[in-house]
Amino acid sequence: MNIFKVGDSQKAICESCQSVENVTFQLRNVPFNDGSGIATNILAGVCNKCNEVILIPQQSAPLINKQLRATRKPIESKVPAHFVDMLNNACAELGAQPDFSNALIKYYVHMLSHEAMPTDELKTYLKSNLAAGKSDKRISLKSSILRDELATLRSKTHIKSTSSVIKAIVLKIHDDIQVHPQPNLINQLKGVVAAVS
Ligand SMILES: [Zn+2]
């Protein structure tokens, strides 16, 4: 991939001018492909004659995608209050702050949906005593791949709702980290904590 710098220039066909023009790379706001909004401060090729953005180099794609993802709605799950406490305590056990909770859930969703962890006992967690309680707290998760991974997990485990899958995962986290501590898993998770803190 050719990496361009701000101020670099080349020739390109400009649709507006209907001619080959000099293009200079500058930081500009550009619309998303799906028209749902605008990505800001993106390196783009601007026609020197008409001042329109006429090309977007490949190097800008990850930043545009990052901004597009930020506009997506999070996945919301309702859980009883003690679920948030179990997550916070699991985080503390890993040496992390409570705000690591979402990363911890996403790690589990990823590992479970890719069969790097067994999924067969997930459903039984939902029958445990700790599964009960009025769902009056919210877990809000944002990720580009989470939606697909949760769909995979729902069909694998035959658990119907996303909230129930999230509840089963929190109960598994509590079990793996606090009730029956899994040393290898805990060490891996401490590595993830170090990477994001
Ligand atoms: Zn032009």
pLDDT digits (tens, 9 = 90+) for 7-62: 999 999 999 999 999 999 999 999 998 888 999 999 999 999 999 999 999 999 99
Determine the distance separating the centroid of ligand 1 and the alpha carbon of 14, expressed in angstroms: 5
Is 49 in the same domain as 93? no
| Two structure tokens written together for 122 | 């997930």
Is 48 in the same domain as 98? no
Determine the distance separating the centroid of ligand 1 and the alpha carbon of 53, expressed in angstroms: 8
Q: What is the domain extent for residue 103?
A: 75-196
pLDDT at residue 145, as a whole number: 84
Could you give the angle at which helices 101-113 and 81-93 cross, rounded to 10 degrees? 90
Which amino acid belongs to residue 189?
A: L
pLDDT digits (tens, 9 = 90+) for 82-123: 999 999 999 999 999 999 999 999 999 999 999 999 999 999
Is 160 in the same domain as 85? yes
Determine the distance separating the centroid of ligand 1 and the alpha carbon of 48, expressed in angstroms: 7
pLDDT at residue 73, as a whole number: 86
Q: Is the pLDDT of residue 144 over 80?
A: no
pLDDT at residue 71, as a whole number: 86
Determine the distance separating the centroid of ligand 1 and the alpha carbon of 43, expressed in angstroms: 17
